[in-house]
């Protein structure tokens, strides 16, 4: 198994990427390909006394967080991101990971790898913590304006990811909406509700509100990228504010500091649940290749876990299962249209 890592993408590049690659290489026998400035990567890697199967491929350019995705993809042909994507395209790597410019990752993946057969649009998904486990939410920003067919495709892709990557049996699918009633929401939402209600291979539970989603009411929740991105960023912001408030309260007095010591184990367990670095990145689903996106502010642990996420997606042949699900959706659409 060979995984290409855009080593110049994160806010702390290349230190974070190299450290994460070293950690992952010592825990598995996968080959990790660091893509970026060869001199810098060689120097950073040499600082570690021990590491596993890691190689370096030179790329003379890097796409920055403030670069325009379109211009960067067109002009920086030898960027670490595009070189890594071409390794997958040419069969020299099985997956690519980047903590870089998300827009550039999406655009580069669409241009170089292309969409999976039958998929109209790719979607970013992530498994978010809930009161009873995790929920796969998609799309998280790849598509602002979505048709009913696109949202139905997202449901099929989310089902495949939940089942094969997260081992959820018969995932429950919900449509994020302003109310549970079938008549709620936009005309597109109503059309999606109607389609998923009758899709034979979808365990559709209907519309779901954010409160029910975070209480664990569904395993997969579908929405357009505008709403999904706001939900994700709001969740991360609220988690950060709550952590700050809890910390301030515990530091307010000697008694509260004692309480913090007694509650330390529970607080650490809570951090494990909400920390995005503890989980396996955000897959870009619907692309003809495995692409994992992670935070620009990620830690080396975030890189290590994203590498594990890529390994799981390749091992489980996730894209094949996505294509199978999309095929079922198309067959259902054809039979419905014929009946009408």
CATH number, residue 157? 3.40.718.10
d(CA 18, CA 193): 45
Query: Do 115 and 188 have their domain in common?
Result: no
* Per-residue confidence (pLDDT) for residue 108, from 0 to 100: 97
Query: Do 165 and 138 have their domain in common?
Result: yes
Question: DSSP string covering 147-184, please?
Answer: -HHHHHHHHHHHHHIIIIIT--SS-EEEEE-SSSSTT-
Report pTM.
0.89
In a domain, 127, yes or no: yes
Query: Do 241 and 150 have their domain in common?
Result: yes
Query: Do 103 and 25 have their domain in common?
Result: yes
Query: Do 114 and 207 have their domain in common?
Result: no
Query: Do 109 and 128 have their domain in common?
Result: no
In a domain, 325, yes or no: no
Query: Do 134 and 101 have their domain in common?
Result: no
- The predicted-structure confidence for 215-258, as pLDDT tens digits, reads as follows 999 999 999 999 999 998 888 787 778 778 877 877 878 777 77
* Per-residue confidence (pLDDT) for residue 272, from 0 to 100: 59
Query: Do 151 and 263 have their domain in common?
Result: yes
* Per-residue confidence (pLDDT) for residue 280, from 0 to 100: 85
Query: Do 9 and 136 have their domain in common?
Result: no
In a domain, 230, yes or no: yes
Enumerate residues 6+ apart whose C-beta is below 8 A from 73.
63, 82, 104, 107, 108, 111
Parent domain of 168: 123-275
Query: Do 135 and 243 have their domain in common?
Result: yes
Residue 184 burial class via C-beta count within 10 angstroms: exposed 0-12, middle 13-18, buried 19 and up: middle
Closest CA to 138 of 148, 156, 124, 150: 124
Q: What are the average pLDDT values for consecutive 10-residue runs of the chain, which has 340 residues?
A: 96 96 94 97 96 97 95 96 98 96 95 92 92 92 91 96 95 95 91 92 95 95 94 82 77 75 61 68 95 92 94 95 91 80
Do 21 and 302 contact (CB within 8 A), yes or no?
Answer: no
Query: Do 76 and 192 have their domain in common?
Result: no
In a domain, 305, yes or no: yes
Domain count, the chain: 2
In a domain, 224, yes or no: yes
Closest CA to 291 of 109, 143, 100: 109
What integer best gives the mean pLDDT of the chain?
Answer: 91
* Per-residue confidence (pLDDT) for residue 262, from 0 to 100: 65
In a domain, 329, yes or no: no
* Per-residue confidence (pLDDT) for residue 275, from 0 to 100: 67
Residue 244 burial class via C-beta count within 10 angstroms: exposed 0-12, middle 13-18, buried 19 and up: exposed
- In three-state secondary structure terms, 289 is coil
* Per-residue confidence (pLDDT) for residue 193, from 0 to 100: 95
In a domain, 327, yes or no: no
Closest CA to 121 of 78, 99, 93, 151: 151
Enumerate residues 6+ apart whose C-beta is below 8 A from 211.
none
In a domain, 32, yes or no: yes
Query: Do 188 and 262 have their domain in common?
Result: yes
* Per-residue confidence (pLDDT) for residue 269, from 0 to 100: 56
Enumerate residues 6+ apart whose C-beta is below 8 A from 145.
224, 226
């Amino acid at each position: 198994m060979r995984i290409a890592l855009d080593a110049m993408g994160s806010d702390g590049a290349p230190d974070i990427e190299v450290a994460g690659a070293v950690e992952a290489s010592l825990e598995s026998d996968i080959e990790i390909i660091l893509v970026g400035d060869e001199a810098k990567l060689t120097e950073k890697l040499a600082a570690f006394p021990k590491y596993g199967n890691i190689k370096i491929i030179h790329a003379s350019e890097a796409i920055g967080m403030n670069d325009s995705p379109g211009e960067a993809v067109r002009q920086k042909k030898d960027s670490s991101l595009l070189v890594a994507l071409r390794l997958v395209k040419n069969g020299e790597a099985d997956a690519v990971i980047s903590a870089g410019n998300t827009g550039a990752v999406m655009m580069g993946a669409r241009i170089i790898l292309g969409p999976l057969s039958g998929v109209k649009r790719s979607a970013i998904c992530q498994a978010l913590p809930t009161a009873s486990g995790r929920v796969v939410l998609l799309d998280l920003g790849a598509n602002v304006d979505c048709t009913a067919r696109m949202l139905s495709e997202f449901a099929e892709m989310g089902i495949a990811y939940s089942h094969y990557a997260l081992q959820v049996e018969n995932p429950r699918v919900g449509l994020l909406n302003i109310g549970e009633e079938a008549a709620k929401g936009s005309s597109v939402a109503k059309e999606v509700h109607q389609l998923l209600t009758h899709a034979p291979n979808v365990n559709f539970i209907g519309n779901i509100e954010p409160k029910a989603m975070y209480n664990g009411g569904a395993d997969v929740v579908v929405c357009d990228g505008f709403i999904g991105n706001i939900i994700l960023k709001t969740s991360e912001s609220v988690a950060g504010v709550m952590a700050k408030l809890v910390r301030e309260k515990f530091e307010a007095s000697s008694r509260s500091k004692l309480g913090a010591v007694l509650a330390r184990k529970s607080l650490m367990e809570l951090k494990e649940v909400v920390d995005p670095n503890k989980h396996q990145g955000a897959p870009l689903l619907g692309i003809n290749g495995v692409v994992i996106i992670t935070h620009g502010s990620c830690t080396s642990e975030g890189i290590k876990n994203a590498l594990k996420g890529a390994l799981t997606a390749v091992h489980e042949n996730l894209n094949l299962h996505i294509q199978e699900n999309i095929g079922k959706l198309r067959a259902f659409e054809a039979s419905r249209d014929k009946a009408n």
